[in-house]
Structure 1
Amino acid sequence: MSATTRSAPFSRAVVRAMQKLYPQALADNTWDNTGLLLETPFDPSLRRSNTILLTIDLTRAVADEAITRKSSVIISYHPIIFRGLKSLTLANSQQQTLLRLAAHGISVYSPHTAVDAAPGGLGDWLADIVTGTTTTTSYDENEGRKTTESPPIKKSIEESDDPFIDHRSPVYTLNHHPSQTALRRSPSSPNTVSIPHTRVPIIPQSPPLESHPGAGMGRIVTFHQPQPLPTLLDRIGQGLNNPKGFPIAIPQNTSLSSLSISSIGICAGSGASLLSNLDVDLLFTGEMSHHEALAAIEKGQVVMSLFHSNSERGFLSEVLRWQLEECVEEEWAKVREEEGDNPELKEALEEVDFDVEVSEVDRDPYGIVILKE
């Protein structure tokens, strides 16, 4: 009888931690493809380090990075496999990446929309940014919302910086969103009081999960008092590690300094389908098409888009990295106890320490060309 083929014990601990934090039941499984997408067999002679690499997109560059770091598992927010595969060949760039990772013993897990929907997940992270909240608190189990207090407000953008006022300079530079790896904010830090507001999911989780009360797709934030739009822009810029800029659409015959926001619809990534029918002042998302944004401003709404993956990437270092450090520690201890009598795993189980790292090469495909003085 042949020996049972299994993945590395540390990889199993990581998968259990991800499923505990972001159950697949929270994902939109009508179209999404979440979970363990590549499971590599354990080979003691090719053992990897206990390292998890976090990325939004699993590109060739990220795969190279994981191989160089000797990572065991890549947590890729976006699935590298969306549809069924009829073959795995080197002719296709994504399949080539999967084959290379398999050859090096690196597994791939994708949580995607499960992270969007979870309380304390990506939707709440964006809501925390617009409300000035630096750490995520728990949802009220009965109300599915939270209310918090107000911090000092940053100096707002000056009217002379209004992007709808034309400024010309002769030199261009290409700027990508700054690396999120510089952010090392621990979740154990004291809460900063946030702007008073309520928040609810746009589409509540159905059926609800007892382990994740208040889950659901998107978020609607309603402020107790209207917020000047320039103040929100400052808050968002700070929360996103000060990018060089991002697109914004405002109703015609208005200016940034004249607009106040009482309610915000939030969706990471491509948010038009979730946000288009909301009666809110601001649509805050990763991307919307020209015609979708035009329809919104015709209704008097403001649209703020961050470029698709820039609405998601900061979550890896701000939240997921810290969540995994705590949860993997628990699950790795359990796996080591469960497998302690297995002599084939003795060396692998003796390595107690592990690392959770954020990719340094992962970035949105779009950068911003800026006029330079």
Structure 2
Amino acid sequence: MSSRTSTAPFSRAVVSAMRKLYPEALADSSWDNTGLLLEAPFDPIRRQMNSVLLTVDLTKAVVDEAIERNDSIVVAYHPIIFKGLKSLTLANSQQQSLLRLAAEGITVYSPHTAIDAAPGGLGDWLADIITGTPATAPRQESSEAFPPSQPSEDDPFVEPQRPIYLLQHHPSQAGLQDADLKLASTAHTRTAIRPLNLPPHPNAGMGRIVRFETPQPLASLIERVGRGLGNPKGFPIAIPQGAQIADISISSVGICAGSGGSLFAGLDVDLLFTGELSHHEALAAIEKGQCVITLFHSNSERGFLHSVLRQQLLEAVKEEWEVLRKQERMRGVGEEMLEALEDEYVGVEVSERDRDPYGIVVSKFAE
């Protein structure tokens, strides 16, 4: 007689909590692949911790992290599986990651565009940032780009300093103080760029359009983005040729996490705020008089895990775990499963190794 195979009860509680927070019906099923992507069998002999690891991308480094932490489930915002698989082999790096996780008993769930479209989800979080105001005075940096006593390049008796290029990745959101930005404190209205006709979820839809009651200086919006995203070393911006940032005011903003090109097509707003936009899309925008702020793809998404999803999921999983434990006890389970149900601990953490593949190389001069 074969024994019944199931996933870890804690992982089931996490999947249930995610589906209630961000229903899969909100996702764009025409191309996206959200939901339970890997359901790892439960092995009571080497039971995982009752912990969740949040990440944007499920890379080898994050897989190593989840295995080292002994997590029960990884909630990966981006699906690691987009197309149908004809085989699962170790030759493919992504399939290798899935096989390693399955062997360790670690499940994988992906919410992706369900989070994008949900009211209060990723789109609204970015809208909150663009409509916020700084709550504390910014730290004053030196106005000098280089040391004051640079030798002349024409001086044959002084060896010129050579530049050193330092790779700077987008900062982790873990240390970001909520007090740095008063979210959504500027008067405005907001709507979805592509609304979803789902009565149970009013105001759901892909992307957001923010319209300010009073035009905002572009310089102020840049500061809000910097503060809301953890003060990165820099991010790309495009403005019409001949214009100056200090002279530009913004009345409306189109917002899309990740890649906004297709969603922004034909959108009549002053500023496009997204993770990435192609060269030709950005060029077309500034030719129309629009401005563009991009953050690199996943840098427009990762802060949501720290700022919103971690605590939100922790509270939801605690409730689901209590319900599931009672239900499983009532229907009767074996001693090995009962031991797993006795564990009250619930943990949700954000990956420390997840990061966008792109960083910014910053030029400094050697002393």
In structure 2, the partner of 1:204 is 195
Aligned equivalent of 1:349, options 341, 349, 360: 341
Moved more, 82-91 or 345-354: 345-354
- Superposed displacement of residue 183, structure 1: 3.8
Match of 2:101 in 1: 101
Matches within 5 A, 1:328-367: 328-340=317-329, 341-343=332-334, 344-367=336-359
Question: Which residue of 1 is the match for residue 276 of structure 2?
Answer: 287
CA distance in 1 between partners of 2:178 and 2:6 (Å):
36
Within 5 A, what are the aligned runs for 1:258-277?
258-277=247-266
2:304 matches 1:315: yes
Please tell me the residue identity of whatever aligns with 1:352. Answer: E
- Alignment of 1:43 with 2:43, yes or no, is yes
1:23 corresponds to which letter in structure 2?
Answer: P
Q: Which of residues 240, 245, 251 in structure 1 aligns to 2:240? A: 251
CA 1:244–1:233: 2 relative to 1, 3 Å: same
Distance 1:78 1:161, change over 3 A: farther
Q: Which residue number in structure 2 is paired with residue 147 of structure 1? A: none
Letter in 2 for 1:114: A
Query: What residue in structure 2 maps to residue 89 of structure 1?
Result: 89
The aligned counterpart of 1:145 is: none
**How far is the alpha carbon of 1:353 from its aligned partner?**
1.1
Q: Does 1:371 align with 2:363?
A: yes
Determine the structure 1 residue equivalent to 2:186. 195
Deviation at 1:152, TM superposition (A): 6.0
CA distance in 2, matches of 1:219, 1:320: 19
**1:141-166 Cα distance to aligned partner (Å, 9 max, x none):** xxxxxxxxxx76966999x899xxxx
User: How far apart are the structure 2 equivalents of 1:156 and 1:48?
Assistant: 44
1:111 aligns with 2:103: no
Q: Corresponding residue for 1:175? A: 168
Percent identity for Structure 1 against Structure 2: 66
Give RMSD over aligned pairs: 2.3
Given that residues 128 and 184 in structure 2 are in contact (C-alpha distance below 8 angstroms), is that contact kept between their aligned partners in structure 1?
Answer: no
* CA contact 1:276–1:296 (8 Å) conserved in 2: no
What is the letter of the counterpart of residue 330 of structure 1? E
**Shift of residue 2 of structure 1?**
2.6
SS at match of 2:31: coil
C-alpha contact 2:78 2:110 (8 A) present in aligned 1: yes
| Shift, 1:4, TM fit | 2.2
Quote the residue 1:78 is aligned against: 78
Mapped to 2, the partners of 1:198 and 1:128 lie a distance apart of: 11
Alpha-carbon distance in 1 for matches of 2:3, 2:202: 42
Give, in angstroms, the shift of residue 14 of structure 1. Answer: 0.2
The answer to whether the Cα contact below 8 Å between 1:184 and 1:317 also exists between their aligned partners in 2 is no
Equivalent residues of 1:169, 1:371 under 8 A apart: no
User: Structure 1 residues 184 and 209, CA, compared in 2 at 3 Å: closer, same or farther?
Assistant: farther
CA distance in 2, matches of 1:316, 1:126: 12
Aligned AA (1:217): M
Structure 1 gap segments, 5+ residues each: 134-150, 163-167
Aligned length: 345
| Deviation by residue 1:15-53 (Cα, 9 ceiling, x = unmatched) | 000000111100000000000000011111121001100
Is the Cα contact below 8 Å between 2:130 and 2:184 reproduced in 1? Answer: no
In 2, the alpha carbon distance for the partners of 1:18 and 1:193 equals 25
What SS class does the counterpart of residue 323 from structure 1 fall into? Answer: helix
Matched, 1:325 2:317: no
Counterpart of 2:221 in structure 1 is: 232
Kindly state the Cα deviation for residue 313 of structure 1 after the two structures are TM-superposed. 0.4
CA contact (8 A) 1:115 1:121 kept: yes
Q: TM-score if structure 1 supplies the norm length?
A: 0.88
Secondary structure at 2:203 match in 1: coil
Contact 2:129 2:183 in 1 (8 A): no
Give the direction of change, closer, same or farther, for the CA distance of 1:185–1:43 in structure 2 (3 Å limit).
Answer: farther
Post-superposition offset of 1:96: 0.3
Mapping of 1:119-198 within 5 angstroms? 119-132=119-132, 170-183=163-176, 194-198=185-189
Name the larger-Rg structure.
Answer: 2
Per-residue deviation, 1:345: 1.3
Aligned 8 A contact 1:57 1:77 in 2: yes
Distance 2:357 2:342 in 1: 40
1:75 partner amino acid? V
Question: What letter corresponds to residue 35 of structure 2 in structure 1?
Answer: G
Report if aligned partners of 2:37, 2:110 keep a CA contact under 8 Å in 1: yes
What SS does the aligned partner of 2:174 have? helix
Contact 2:55 2:305 in 1 (8 A): yes
In structure 2, the gaps of 5 or more residues are: 146-160
- Deviation, 1:170, is 2.7
